[in-house]
Amino acid sequence: MNEGTTEHPENAAAFVANDARLKWHDQSLWFVREKRDRASSVIPEWESLRALGADIKAHTLSRLADYLEEFEKKATALGAHVHFARDAEEHNRIVHGLLRERNVTRVVKSKSMLTEQCGLNHHLEAHGIEVIDTDLGERIVQLRHEPPSHIVMPAIHLKKEEIGDLFHDTMGSASGISDPKVLTEVARGQLRGNLLAAQAGITGVNFAIAETGGFVVCTNEGNADLGTAIPPLHIASMGIEKVIPRAKDLGVFLRLLARSATGQPVTAYSSHFHGPRPGGELHIVIVDHGRSEILGREHYRRTLQCIRCGACMNTCPVYRRSGGHSYGVTVPGPLGAVLAPHIDPKKHRSLPFASTLCGSCSDVCPVQIDLHQQLLLWRGDLGRAELIPLRKRAASQLAGWVLARTWAYEFLGRIARWILPKLPKALLRANDWGRQRELPPAPKESFREMYRRRRGQ
């Protein structure tokens, strides 16, 4: 492994090595993909809904500063406090500051990939504040001291037996439990205590409405409601791209989101927050963390349309067979592979290559992000920045030189076809193609030679 770079091929190979897990992981996610297919097929206007969602987002991005300002104004008028954070550190500092000023030591958090991306848990824990993730999947990976492996189903890489063992070790439940119902009850029992004792609740934001200054958090476990109902302080963290113009745009996205994410017609809880609840405090932290830079890059701007449904991961044949952790970033899959290089192209240079460019992600995306085209463009940008391994670049140079010259191409083709059948089997099987696959046949004549013969040239 190279110092400081994510090597997707190696991580993926380790995942593939466990055949049973590989098949089961692939099947579980494909199951969700098929559910999404069924859920989207009952909406006759699905494709135009996607186009509409994409258009609304594209429009919003074209005037993002205006809409953010409007949101800030309206939210403030509702009694919320709005903070802007340039990056992860500033976000964490703001959140910690709010907690410290109020002597908060116990926080419940409902799923937020942004806080995950910012490393908020670590930051707060380092300052002696206990953070409990309330989303079951999130809690499971938190207890395992692991990052989530999926943005919607954070613990999808784990089998129920493993979760049973984990709960036995960490919560003292009986050993050998693998019934999801029972396990959920165990976690719920624990969670109840945590919710009652919490002094602050942190949530993410799915959609922030410029027109009203309110925002919506979508969960299936109701934990955004629970986590903010008891404690006096609610902190909501959102990326700058979460804003939408009008309340009536919300319907478009709620219809797209649930169906794309899990194949449900609607998310179980869409919690609306318009200002603090009576007697409570609401702080909204709006985070940039590299997003405005993406906004400035014309080719890549569309990735900011993302509503974080995870459909591109579920459909991605590479994600399904390499697991979320193989990407080494908070957001894995095709989306993660186009987002991560913006933060650190050198470190994440293998990610745009972790794809066959099959295009399924682009077609499944509810807001029509051309993900596979972005993966391809990243390859070009990495090439230009000379961030592609030297061996690979040299091979391209050589191939390019040959392919631009007919005589060289013909000559080398003839040599290859002549020499391949003569090479020892062991040699043919010692490379990345030949280890598990036979080489193509080596015919005597190429097509052009046949053609010439037939045309008597």
Partner 1 sequence: MINAALFIPCYVDQFYPHVGLATLELLERYGVRVEYPQAQTCCGQPVFNSGSFDVAKPIADKFLEVFSSYQYIVCPSGSCTSMVRNHYAELVPDRIAELRSKTFELCEFLHDVLGVKPEGRFPHRVGLHASCHGLRELRLGSGSERRVQPFDKVRSLLSGLEGIQFADLSRKDECCGFGGTFAVGEEAVSVAMGNGRIADHERGGAEIITGGDMSCLMHLDGLLRRQKKPIRVMHVAEILAEATANE
Q: Which residues bind ligand SF4 (CB under 6 A)?
A: 260, 306-312, 335, 364-367, 369, 371
Place of tokens 């008891």: 230
Hey, which residues between 36 and 75 contact partner 1 (CB under 8 A)?
37, 40-41, 43-44, 46-47
The radius of gyration of the chain's CA atoms, rounded to the nearest angstrom, is 25
Q: Which residues have a Cβ under 8 Å from the Cβ of 411 and sit 6 or more positions away?
A: none
Nearer to partner 1, 234 or 259 (CB): 259
17 in contact with partner 1 (CB under 8 A): yes
Q: How many residues are listed for the chain in this entry?
A: 457
Structure tokens at 16: 């593939």
304 binds, among ligand SF4, partner 1, none (CB under 5 to 8 A by kind): none
Nearer to partner 1, 47 or 87 (CB): 47
134 binds, among partner 1, ligand SF4, none (CB under 5 to 8 A by kind): none
Minimum distance from CB of 62 to ligand SF4 (Å)? 18
- C-alpha closest to that of 291 among 243, 324, 357, 353: 243
Q: How far apart are CA 42 and CA 47, in angstroms?
A: 12
403 binds, among partner 1, ligand SF4, none (CB under 5 to 8 A by kind): partner 1
Which segment (109-117, 134-142, 198-206, 449-457) binds partner 1 by CB under 8 A? 449-457
Which segment (80-88, 140-148, 335-343, 391-399) binds partner 1 by CB under 8 A? 391-399
Give the residue, chosen from 59, 159, 277, 321, that forms a contact with partner 1 under the rule CB under 8 A. Answer: 321
Nearer to ligand SF4, 275 or 290 (CB): 290
Place of tokens 């952790």: 325
230 in contact with partner 1 (CB under 8 A): no
Minimum distance from CB of 349 to ligand SF4 (Å)? 20
Query: How many chain residues bind partner 1 (CB under 8 A)?
Result: 78
441 in contact with partner 1 (CB under 8 A): yes
Q: Which residues have a Cβ under 8 Å from the Cβ of 233 and sit 6 or more positions away?
A: 98, 99, 102, 104, 199, 200, 201, 280, 281, 283
47 binds, among partner 1, ligand SF4, none (CB under 5 to 8 A by kind): partner 1
Minimum distance from CB of 45 to partner 1 (Å)? 9
Minimum distance from CB of 76 to ligand SF4 (Å)? 29
- C-alpha closest to that of 335 among 321, 354, 68, 346: 354
| DSSP string computed for 70-136 | HHHHHHHHTT-EEEEESSHHHHHHHHHHHHHHTT--EEEE---HHHHHHTHHHHHHHTT-EEEE-SH
**Are 245 and 294 spatial neighbours (Cβ–Cβ below 8 Å)?**
no
- Kindly report the number of other CB atoms within 10 A of residue 95's CB atom: 25
List Cα–Cα distances, 244 to 25, 100, 405, in angstroms. 34, 32, 53
Strands 207-209 and 215-219: antiparallel
448 in contact with partner 1 (CB under 8 A): yes
171 binds, among partner 1, ligand SF4, none (CB under 5 to 8 A by kind): none
Phi/psi of residue 108, nearest 5 degrees: -105, 145
Which segment (89-97, 141-149, 231-239, 314-322) binds partner 1 by CB under 8 A? 314-322
Nearer to ligand SF4, 155 or 226 (CB): 155
9 in contact with partner 1 (CB under 8 A): yes
383 in contact with partner 1 (CB under 8 A): yes
Minimum distance from CB of 49 to partner 1 (Å)? 9
376 in contact with partner 1 (CB under 8 A): yes
